[in-house]
Amino acid sequence: MKTRNLTIDLARGFIVFIMPATHATLYYSQMAVQKSVWGFFLRIFAEGAGAQTFMFLLGFSFFLGRKKAFPTIVKRSCSIFLLAYVLNFIKFVIPNLGGLIPQSLFTYYHLATGFWGTVDLFMVGDIFQFAAIAYLICGTLYHFKINWWVPLIIAMTIAIISPLVWGHRLHNFFIDYFFKFLNGAPPAVFFPAFPWMTYPLMGLSFGYLFKVLLEQEFYKMCLKVGLILLLIGMGFMWFEPDNFNADFYRLGPGGTIFHAGLLLLWICLCHLLVEKIKNPRCSQFFVLMTWYSTNITIIYVIQWILVIYCLPFFGFMTLGTAGTLMAAGIISLLTYLFVKLIKSYRQRFYLSNRPQKRVH
């Protein structure tokens, strides 16, 4: 079996590890708590290099493991897109029909109530829809063996021109719904392709470089490019309108390039930790981070279901600091236990249905 990349597992695994606590804080805690030290700590990882790192590694992953056939890429993209609506139905529609989602959530996100509110919840565009689109685009470029610098140029172009495509709507309801995946805004779409396609396209370029460069050369390059992008992003933000960086989900050129630099520095930091810790593969911490990294999809699904279904117990944006910490701990623990239970059941089911070898 191919040895896993511990740097990648740490970079992704730690963010997955704090993800249940992050979403629990976002949904349960008062705004003052979200702006406190606890909320700031979570935002450093969740918004600093969180979802951006996931999307970067989506593109990067095309150069890890086995070569991916184009039909497999298309099938995988479609399955992710379908999973997005299955999750919306389970985490939003069912609890809303059961009266578990408080009115305050609809008010906060400016959503309709009743039947159309339920439809809005089902149609929310979240990270799975974007991941499906990004996977198909990156997979197509990968399949046609585009030069490594082409996705990088496209990524930077998307980062720069994104504000020009925001806010444009089409008159056809059905076409406009899918058009929102390109330029929409919360609560209809949380991860529009403009500017979020910047990160997976960057990952595709850096994945190619990872394959052709020596390991230390690659991470030195990531450090240099990360610092450069960080400075360029800060320079852009200095002159940009304030509204360009008011929404984490739809940043202007400066914020997007700044976060691109942050995610590269985050990966470099994780590589440094792996290099400095003696025999990290034997460390329980790295074993745990690898487990979280490996099970990212099921963890994401389970933690969202738990967060929404527990709204009647914790309330929407009502908890103080102590209540938030308790709720975040409970959701994180339940997520871990449920995923462990599901994986254990699946393994037993597989073993019990595996054909037995005949003894001659």
How many angstroms separate the Cα of 337 from the Cα of each of 16, 239, 306, 307, 309?
15, 47, 12, 15, 16
Q: Tell me the average pLDDT across 185-205.
A: 95
Instruction: Identify the sign of the CA torsion 312, 317, 322, 328.
Output: positive
Is residue 60 in some structural domain? no
* DSSP secondary structure letter of residue 68: P
Q: What is the pLDDT of residue 357?
A: 56
Instruction: Please name the amino acid found at residue 72.
Output: T
Rg (CA), the chain: 21
H helices then E strands: how many in the chain?
19, 0
Average pLDDT over residues 290-319: 96
- pLDDT grade, residue 299 (50/70/90)? very high
Q: What's the CA gap between 187 and 174, in Å, rounded?
A: 17
Tell me, yes or no, whether 12 lies in a domain. no
281-287: long-range pairs with CB below 8 Å, 24+: 281/6, 286/6, 286/9, 286/10
Say yes or no to pLDDT of 1 above 50: no
If you search the block for the tokens 């149609």, which residue do you land on? Answer: 123
Confidence of residue 50 (pLDDT cuts 50, 70, 90): confident
Question: Residues 148-190: pLDDT tens digits?
Answer: 999 999 999 999 999 999 988 888 888 999 999 999 999 999 9
Q: Which residues pair with 319 in a beta bridge?
A: 29
Over residues 245-260, mean pLDDT = 92
What's the mean pLDDT in 80-94?
Answer: 97
The answer to whether residue 29 sits within a structural domain is no
pLDDT tens profile 315-353? 999 999 999 999 999 999 999 999 999 999 888 777 766
Q: Crossing angle for the helix pair 198-212 and 149-165, nearest 10 degrees?
A: 170
At 283 the pLDDT is 82
Q: What is the largest CA-CA distance in the chain?
A: 78
Question: For residue 71, how many other CB atoms are within 10 A of its CB?
Answer: 9
In a domain, 26, yes or no: no
User: Per the structure block, which two tokens stand in for 126?
Assistant: 């979240």
- Note the pLDDT of residue 346: 83
Residue 91 falls inside a structural domain = yes
pLDDT band at 232 (very low <50, low <70, confident <90, very high): very high
Per the CB < 8 A criterion, the answer to whether 133 and 158 are in contact is: no
What pTM did the predictor assign? Answer: 0.93
Task: Give the Cβ contact number of residue 93 at 10 Å.
Answer: 16
Within-domain flag for 301: no
Number of domains in the chain: 1
Phi, psi of 189, deg, nearest 5: -140, 125
The residue behind tokens 């991916």 is 68
How far, in Å, CA of 316 to CA of 103, rounded? 9
User: How far apart are alpha carbons 59 and 142 in whole angstroms?
Assistant: 9
Q: State what percent of residues in the chain have pLDDT above 70.
A: 96
The answer to whether position 132 is within a domain reads: yes
Q: Flag whether 99 is in a domain.
A: yes
Q: Tell me which residue has tokens 């980062």.
A: 159
Contacts 24+ apart (CB under 8 A), 245-248: 247/185, 247/186, 248/47
> Can you give the residue range of the structural domain that contains 172?
65-229+243-252
For residue 110, give every residue at least 6 positions away whose Cβ sits within 8 Å of its Cβ, in sequence order, or none: 187
